[in-house]
Structure 1
């Protein structure tokens, strides 16, 4: 989770006013996490945790984030909200729901993967990812799930850290890319100091958004510079 802190030459340790302004502007543009955008009311209960895992599976493919979110919503609206309903659905039902959400390039392969993953979760954890949390190494356990590679595991853990506080701060590589683009520290521990633990998923997702959307990052930097207090630091 952690990486070595790097700051540009001449930049002193400690949070600057400008960094605070950047984070504030960024969060104003990322009002909701990716799970919230997919209609997931994330709580430490089986169905929302499973839905977050499904979303992580979809987001980890090389496809636009908004398409993955729309596909997740379509799956849930089709009634596939927990491991049992996903496993019991036919392959065609899963394909149709993914297609409804615009996830057509990977719909057939993903429909198969979601079915296999649901079956494994039912067999190993009775469909309850809270049991995975009890594993000696939950991240490694996630990698055993079909469709979840290192990227998918990172996505899942950065979004559940608000309810699984032992993972705070969870800032994955893509989020760190966003932090660097915004001139913020590239240390998870330092980034974790900007917001309370319960808000870390929103900050992490916002940093990912900045990594994926250069115009957004530029907009945030411009706004933060305009709102900077006279005594604030500079990039």
Structure 2
């Protein structure tokens, strides 16, 4: 039998506006978890880690998206990548049918940055979780620090469905676990880390819990800096590698067990608004989604498109100190919403809503 969960009280309605700070929530101890990884949650994919696609490539209904080859070169000098010669698998269509009218690029960008788009592409189980628990942190809508992004990328690179990956992230980021930095994860201990992944009702629970623990150990040992007491910013990853992005990513891959090319792609896509040395960047998985929704797949061209329409976009709610940081954050949000729409089968719905906005 699985261990008992701690009941959490519903909180107030979730905030729509992004902030740079995570809410401080008290952690509580839980019962000792079972570490048996042989009982996947109902409806989960029965996959082997070396054979199946990651959560980034598995739609919420279990459909496998075409899996692009991992990008081996991510530095700013090599951002222009050749477009695939064969068309990708078409995204699943929403129940609303074919698009009646196409939005302008400005309409589409503005809608993707809106709270309405955030809710439209949010998985149904996440909507229910937010309604029941209130102001919880989610991968799809919260501003995460670099450590949280790296931990989330590791989870999403596992061979599980997209929704299972997001549910696992919601579980570890919120009460009673609040795994928001390396020190908290380290101090939680092995039993609490295993309990967190058991409560997420995910696959590969034990292995993922162990890898999260090892991630915290590596960050504390190799990447902790004096001005980052909580070890959440990963500043030394760049500074110890002369601010060279390729060297920094190679260092992470070499030192962190369970972090491969897929995880690094996900991490860089999300952290580039904070690590401007990696901006602009579009990974292979997201290029498919950009194509399906009708936006350019080239990172620099997409950056220019955002710049072109910037003055007419609603960006006041975005995180970031200064206009440059807000532009990078907008770029990341657009990529996240496009990928979410593709995985949730909401591409047509997004286009229709954007056209009518």
Shorter-chain TM-score bucket reads 0.7 to 0.9
Give the SS at the match of 1:89.
helix
Question: Matches of 1:165 and 1:217 in 2, distance apart?
Answer: 29
2:103 and 2:351 in contact (8 A); partners too: no
Could you tell me which residue of structure 1 aligns to residue 344 of structure 2?
213
Residue 204 (str. 1) matches residue 335 (str. 2): yes
Residue 101 (str. 1) matches residue 200 (str. 2): yes
Give the SS at the match of 2:167.
helix
1:180 positional shift: 0.6
Question: Matches of 1:182 and 1:120 in 2, distance apart?
Answer: 39
Per-residue CA distance 1:59-113 (angstroms, 9 max, x = gap) = 122333343233223223314332123233332211111122232x111110111
Of 197, 221, 237, the residue aligned with 1:132 is 237
1:175 and 1:211 in contact (8 A); partners too: no
1:55-94 to structure 2, matched below 5 A, reads: 55-76=152-173, 77=175, 78-94=177-193
Question: Matches of 1:69 and 1:50 in 2, distance apart?
Answer: 16
Of 197, 216, 229, the residue aligned with 1:118 is 216
Question: Matches of 2:138 and 2:304 in 1, distance apart?
Answer: 25
Could you tell me which residue of structure 2 aligns to residue 50 of structure 1?
147
Could you tell me which residue of structure 2 aligns to residue 37 of structure 1?
138
Residue 143 (str. 1) matches residue 253 (str. 2): yes
Give the SS at the match of 1:148.
coil
Structure 2, unaligned stretches of length 5 or more?
1-73, 84-101, 123-135, 225-230, 307-326
2:138 and 2:169 in contact (8 A); partners too: no
- RMSD of Structure 2 on Structure 1 (CA): 2.9
1:166 positional shift: 2.0
More helix by share: 1
1:168 and 1:197 in contact (8 A); partners too: yes
Residue 21 (str. 1) matches residue 127 (str. 2): no
User: TM (normalized to structure 2)?
Assistant: 0.52
Question: Matches of 1:170 and 1:139 in 2, distance apart?
Answer: 14
Give the SS at the match of 1:192.
helix
1:49 and 1:129 in contact (8 A); partners too: yes
Question: Matches of 1:74 and 1:120 in 2, distance apart?
Answer: 22
Could you tell me which residue of structure 1 aligns to residue 302 of structure 2?
191
Give the SS at the match of 1:37.
coil
Distance 1:92 1:23, change over 3 A: same
Larger radius of gyration: 2
User: TM (normalized to structure 1)?
Assistant: 0.77
Question: Matches of 1:193 and 1:116 in 2, distance apart?
Answer: 39
Question: Matches of 1:165 and 1:171 in 2, distance apart?
Answer: 14
Question: Matches of 2:330 and 2:137 in 1, distance apart?
Answer: 13
